Structure 1
Amino acid sequence: MAKAAEPQGLAGPSPGSVSSLRHADASRRTDRQRSPGCAVRHGTHLRSLHFRAAPDRGGEQARRPPGAWQEVSRTLSLHALGSQIVIQGEGAEAAACEIEQAEALLTRFQASPLTELNARGVLRAPPGILVEAIGHALSVARETSGLVTPAVLTALEVAGYAQAIGERRGTAATVLDTSEVVCTPEVIRLAAGLRLDLGGTAKSWIAERAFTRISGDGFINAGGDLITRQSAAFAVEIAHPLGGTPLYLDCPAGTWGVATSSTLKRAWEGGHHLIDPRTARPLESDLIQVTVVANCPTNAEVLTKLAFLDTGMLDELQGNAQVYAYDRAGQFWIRSWKVWQKMET
């Protein structure tokens, strides 16, 4: 594996402290410091169990009625969070209920407590899940110096992702600071003009929350976000964003989170859904797809976005997570020792 020139990206602010994001719960600190230790290889998968790491396509926002699940070979499937969700393991039904309940409270595409908050600027006696989800998003925003922030709704609408992909609303946007947001069990209050979109952090957070319902081996695959616990080694397939031969990561037994983000999915002419808060526009990068394997999906999801936005902050936060990317030419890269290393495919 030879070193190559690092893909060019936009310069960003100096990295801040991110230790609390890596180790949000001291009781889980030892587990979160473990390295996935995945090995990249070509060819077909050899493991009896493998997962496909690919970003969800998005687009369809209509929800099926609660409980509209499909069970195939001990695997439960449902459409939620703008993705096809696949759940396997003891407790899959309870996990599906958890996902549907969270979606109903956190969606911006249908009437929900979140849309009420955005319309009024204040919500008293908010649902506990909304308080927790916004609290998580605000924590991520603080620890990434605002690079991964829920304050991008207006920017998304102006760029072309209002109620549907490609639908524009408004002509100008700025991404406001979230430091003055009040988020308590009694009230959530937004600063004037601020509206929230939780899409940057909520899906992995919901998957991780729902996974507590699964006992023993199992997984939740939510489009581009996967959490799995396996007692034997398994493989993760990294889909080629330009249709080439996929790569495979051989992963050891354990509990891992995998996240994939792409500028080619949830995209339309002239834009995509990944917003750079410094410009309030869809981000510009030589990278088109990033996959991260970490100890939990919430960390992995944040790292995928930092890989596009600011490699300095990515290096501060990466820890033992493994970061993989494809550039516009279809070249495969691995982030290691604070540089991008090119892998011949």
Structure 2
Amino acid sequence: MGTRWTISTPEPLPADAVDAVDAEIDRIDRAWSRFRDDSMVADMARQAGRYPIADTDQPLVDWYRRLYDLTGGAVSPLVGQTLADAGYDAIYTLRASARVPVAPAWDAVIGEHAGALELREPALLDVGAAGKGFAVDRVAEIVGDSFDDFVVDAGGDMVISPRSRGLRVALEHPSDATKAIGVVSVAGGAICASASNRRVWADWHHIVDPRTASPAREVLATWVIAPSAMEADGLATALFFTPAAFLRGDFDHHREGFHHVTIRRNGSVEHTAIPGLELFL
């Protein structure tokens, strides 16, 4: 998945749990990666049709539809071809085509999406906005069967088991990866980040507005604390395009809601009243 995984537990994971983690990450990758030729996503890019969705993966598809509606199409799985033509393709060309197209509308391409994903025409999907968080949740579920105390970390997207004393998590400086701009305390749930300083080439980075085929410019970095990593990951991307107040008003299916920190290019910082938040600004 293009990231490094770290699983922290009081004792080593049992061998069968390690095997289950490996198998689940590989299964998700084979289904949803646009960087491998043998994935379901690669098949979708070659041919329209009806593609079964695993029961475990239905929440990811449903969450994408909700994010698409909440952001007015700014977070869309149909951004895949836009990213590829911009240079962020399967072989990391990192050279933009002369013309980078906007993504098509969801309803123009995707029909049914319950139990199966119906594509009316071939399309290159990209679930990077929430897919890694989804994978972290799946791994955390496996690890949680063996230990009550754990941290699953995939490149900074983390699920932390409930604890009486929060785990201090550094917020990476968006302009200097060797520094932190702050620290938060997370006593359970998930924290995910998104930043425009990752996967950067020429005038592009990987957070692209599918409606305009241009990278997001006003926001530098976001962090979200939410009940699940899938939700935190998707919201961290959504904050590049949509005000937090609007997203929060529609994030009503969890009593806990979500917390966030947003750093804008003009130097301003927006954040909720996160317990244990320290900002070094």
- Find the partner of 1:247 among 161, 169, 182: 182
Task: Give distance in 1, aligned partners of 2:182 and 2:53.
Answer: 44
Secondary structure of 1:137 counterpart: helix
Task: Give distance in 2, aligned partners of 1:226 and 1:137.
Answer: 20
**Contact (CA 8 Å) 1:259, 1:293: kept in 2 or not?**
yes
Which of the pair is proportionally richer in helix? 2
1:203 and 2:132 equivalent? Answer: yes
Runs of 4+ aligned residues of structure 1 deviating over 6 Å after TM superposition are: none
The structural deviation recorded for 1:258 is 0.5
Task: Give distance in 1, aligned partners of 2:202 and 2:239.
Answer: 23
Aligned to 1:105: 31
CA separation of 1:317 and 1:257: change in aligned 2, threshold 3 A: farther
Deviation per residue, 1:193-220 (Å, 9 max, x gap) = 6431111121111111221112211121
- Between the aligned residues of both structures, percent identity stands at 20
- Find the partner of 1:213 among 134, 139, 142: 142
Aligned to 2:276: none
**Unmatched tracts of structure 2, length 5 or more:** 274-278
The structural deviation recorded for 1:265 is 0.4
The structural deviation recorded for 1:168 is 3.3
- Find the partner of 2:121 among 167, 192, 195: 192
- Find the partner of 1:166 among 72, 94, 101: 94
Aligned to 1:62: none
Deviation per residue, 1:128-183 (Å, 9 max, x gap) = 56666434423432344322110101211222211216143562312212134223
Aligned to 1:13: none
* Bigger RCO (CA 8 Å, 6+ sep): 1
- TM-score, normalised by the number of residues in structure 1: 0.66
**Contact (CA 8 Å) 1:131, 1:188: kept in 2 or not?**
no
Task: Give distance in 1, aligned partners of 2:59 and 2:45.
Answer: 17
**Contact (CA 8 Å) 1:160, 1:169: kept in 2 or not?**
yes
- Find the partner of 1:114 among 13, 34, 41: 41
- Find the partner of 2:160 among 202, 207, 228: 228
- Find the partner of 1:265 among 174, 198, 210: 198
**Contact (CA 8 Å) 1:105, 1:114: kept in 2 or not?**
yes
1:323 and 2:249 equivalent? Answer: no
* Cα RMSD, aligned residues only: 2.8
1:274 and 2:207 equivalent? Answer: yes
**Unmatched tracts of structure 1, length 5 or more:** 1-80, 338-342
Secondary structure of 1:303 counterpart: helix
Aligned length: 256
CA separation of 1:211 and 1:245: change in aligned 2, threshold 3 A: closer
Secondary structure of 1:304 counterpart: helix
Secondary structure of 1:148 counterpart: coil
**Contact (CA 8 Å) 2:261, 2:270: kept in 1 or not?**
yes
